[in-house]
Structure 1
Amino acid sequence: MSAAPLSAPAAAAAPSVQALRLGYAGLIPFFTGALLVWLVRADTLPYVTLALATYAAVILSFLGGIHWGIGFRDGTPGLFSWGVVPSLVAWVAVMMPPNAGLVISGAMLVGCYLVDRRVYPRHGLSAWLTLRFRLTAVASLSCFIGAAGA
């Protein structure tokens, strides 16, 4: 029995108001963590940098998971392989000293966006790229600022 050929995916609607609000709210831990790195006492700095680094790791894992969802929907096997890369990189970054690990996480956030710029249009998700760019810019910048203060 052969599988039916996949048709081209329909273009997804632009992000809803709820998606926009949740996306921007998801930046609060990034912004707050980067700010706190520069404001807290030295004895609390390890907790702040760990919080920022682990949140970045969670978000990177989420971004990889999106590719699994697209792969499930469209049957594109290469997306599954890429989907695990952000989680693995994030895991390594969390285990590193914060001044290095946060740079790795920030760079991986940018890398995920660059991959998404190629993948999303092929799967009818171009309408999400503006939001993805904005979220990536603030999140990666927060990681870099946090790394500088660690």
Structure 2
Amino acid sequence: MSAPVPPELPLPPTARRLAYAGLLPFVLGALLVWLVNDTAHPYVTLALSAYAALIVSFLGGIHWGVGFAQADPPTSLFLWGVLPSLLAWVAVMMPPNAGLALNGALLVLCYLVDRKVYPAQGLARWLTLRFRLSAVAALSCFLGAAGT
């Protein structure tokens, strides 16, 4: 395994730009929930909920990637890595107001778990970006839920 990255090392610019670009579907989706007509509304809420579920699943998958890089990883990385996907899938199947609220809560929960896990895994330098992304994404889900 390679040496841990110093926490003060800046994040790769490409990763930072792509991460912020990944907020566009959240912000646009939340805005459209409030602007589209009744015919388009179910599609917009489903699109926002499905995108949120994909991101929640991605956040869980990061834990699998961290575990893959270790000779003897803690089982908790793999257990937690699966749970967000399962819960996000349930959220997509729920009515939009409840599903978007659940996905928003899952985004917050993923961040709270990562606040504990990332420092122990040498990933603390990603937490500021994770907070910003999670805050905007969760707020978008909550605003989308309020607009249903």
Q: For this structure pair, what is the TM-score category when the shorter chain's length is used for normalisation?
A: over 0.9
The one of 84, 87, 101 equivalent to 1:86 is 84
Alignment of 1:44-59 (within 5 A): 44-59=40-55
Residue type of the alignment partner of 1:93: A
Q: Does 1:40 align with 2:39?
A: no
**CA shift in 2, pair 1:59/1:32, >3 Å:** same
**CA shift in 2, pair 1:92/1:112, >3 Å:** same
Structure 2 unaligned segments of length 5 or more: list them. Answer: none
- For 1:8 and 1:123, how far apart are their aligned partners in 2? 12
Structure 1 unaligned segments of length 5 or more: list them. Answer: 1-6
Identity %: 65
**Which residue of structure 2 aligns with residue 27 of structure 1?**
23
Residue type of the alignment partner of 1:10: P
**Which residue of structure 1 aligns with residue 4 of structure 2?**
10
**Which residue of structure 1 aligns with residue 75 of structure 2?**
77
- Number of residue pairs aligned between Structure 1 and Structure 2: 144
Q: Using structure 2 for the length normalisation, give the TM-score.
A: 0.93
Which runs of 4 or more aligned residues in structure 1 lie more than 4 Å from their structure 2 counterparts after TM superposition? none
- Which has the larger displacement, 66-75 or 85-94? 66-75
CA RMSD of aligned residues (A): 1.4
For residues 18-53 of structure 1, the C-alpha deviation after alignment (integer angstroms, 9 at most, x for no partner) is 011000000000000000000000111000000000
**CA shift in 2, pair 1:123/1:8, >3 Å:** farther
Q: Using structure 1 for the length normalisation, give the TM-score.
A: 0.92
Q: CA deviation at 1:77?
A: 1.8
Q: CA deviation at 1:76?
A: 2.1
Corresponding residue SS for 1:139: helix
Pair member with larger Rg: 1
Q: CA deviation at 1:9?
A: 5.6
**Which residue of structure 2 aligns with residue 4 of structure 1?**
none
Corresponding residue SS for 2:4: coil
